[in-house]
Structure 1
């Protein structure tokens, strides 16, 4: 494979990894938003008395829900979101490390490019 072809291939890999990183960052942002929303719901539950009624939106209808069940659902959601956030954080870190390696490979290939074209012209 020629140096130019390798450079083009590595450049395409680098761009793909950049796209992957952008998707992961977007996913992390959505998870952070969901976490914040669910934490607000949990705080609101702390202000409820046993006499308050909680409703759950099921399709277009509000259905009464047991407070204990609602609290459990929110806690379960929070645990899931926190787990997903940790997983995505790890993926972001790994992708950033991969990007750095690919960037160094590209720089190395680009440094070889003028040297090889100079050798051809001599």
Structure 2
């Protein structure tokens, strides 16, 4: 055991230059996964809201529309509901665009770190 401790101490003194880069690469990879999940959820929400809008378009102007708020159904005007759904779609699309930009930036950052890792590995 003493020999193992001494050997571990010797290794611990010389830090592998790849370790911080590999840790950064893994961190970025996790962030990319989260962003991809967010982008997927935004796409799903846009599809769901567009489906709701199509259903609302089928209704006649004097149709009664209700919104569930907690345990209560509240009557709303059809025009107001369509407007709200359109605004929601715009908001979600803007959020999806923001996520895509962040995803591209993270992918670029990951590629830079990957190139640094490859350069260090070639230098060995």
**TM exceeds 0.5?**
yes
Aligned partner of 1:98 in structure 2 is: 109
Aligned equivalent of 1:33: 44
Contiguous gaps of at least 5 residues in structure 1: 114-122
Which of 1 and 2 has higher RCO (CA within 8 Å, sep 6+)?
1
How do 1:66-81 residues align onto structure 2 when only pairs under 5 Å count?
A: 66-81=77-92
The aligned residue for residue 98 of structure 2 is 87
Structure 1's consecutive aligned runs of 4 or more residues displaced over 2 angstroms after TM superposition are none
Shift of 1:3: 6.3
1:107-118 correspondence runs (5 A)? 107-113=118-124
- Calculate the TM-score normalised by the size of structure 2: 0.85
Deviations 1:37-75 (A, max 9, x none): 000011111101022111101012221111111011101
1:52 corresponds to 2:37: no
Q: Name the SS of the counterpart of 2:62 in structure 1.
A: coil
Q: Which stretches in structure 2 are left out of the alignment for 5+ residues?
A: 1-13
> TM-score scaled to structure 1, two decimals?
0.86
User: Which whole-Å CA distance do the structure 2 matches of 1:89 and 1:43 have between them?
Assistant: 26
